[in-house]
Amino acid sequence: MIKKCVVLGISMLFLVSDIFAQSQNNTNLRNQYLGVRYKDYRELRELTKVNSNMINLHYGIALMKKEDKHFLFLSKFENSENYSGDFQLRVIDIKEIPKFNEFYHCVSVKGCSQNGKNDPTLFALAVIEPQKYLTKIVKVWKLDKPTGRILDYTSAGVKCINHSQVALVSE
């Protein structure tokens, strides 16, 4: 009985330390990139851009990957600090996306709608389906323009264009 308690205690200790380490990594990533100004996503070292979209004249969204983790990077268009008449993007929010299998799921950063109304401020994690629209929505986020933050949002009535299916149909 004592051995079981010790093993359980050690297991819990490893679990808590793993959760803490994961939380620290997310905090470090936020500290490393929040406020960073860039012209091209390739300037964001250690990250790979998977997909991106211009939301409107003020904001851009990018699905970024670091190792096996995915993140939404919200950036704001601003005048360049170095060249007049040019622009830069400044990272203003970062949202970690829950782990998902890239073979079965995708993150849509453009072409989402709610109850039939197009909404460029919606982003969704969805199950890949062999049809024009992704309707099996797992998680949704929305740009809150007044705060400049990416917030969790309801998935009710949300669907997104299946860009891989659209590409197949148009070929």
Asked if the structure places residue 102 within a domain, the reply is: yes
Asked if the structure places residue 14 within a domain, the reply is: no
Q: Residue 16 and residue 126: Cα distance in Å, rounded?
A: 29
Asked if the structure places residue 13 within a domain, the reply is: no
| Helix (H) or strand (E) segment spanning residue 129 | none
- Per-residue pLDDT of 72-104, as tens digits, reads 999 999 987 777 778 889 999 999 999 998 889
Asked if the structure places residue 75 within a domain, the reply is: yes
Report the sign of the C-alpha dihedral through residues 82, 87, 91, 97, in that order.
negative
- Contacts of residue 129, Cβ cutoff 8 Å, sequence gap at least 6: 135, 136, 162, 165
Asked if the structure places residue 84 within a domain, the reply is: yes
* Structural domains counted in the chain: 1
Confidence grade of residue 5 (pLDDT, cut at 50, 70, 90): very low
To the question of pTM greater than 0.85 for the whole model, the response is no
The whole domain housing 134 covers 34-170
- Per-residue pLDDT of 47-57, as tens digits, reads 999 999 999 98
Asked if the structure places residue 145 within a domain, the reply is: yes
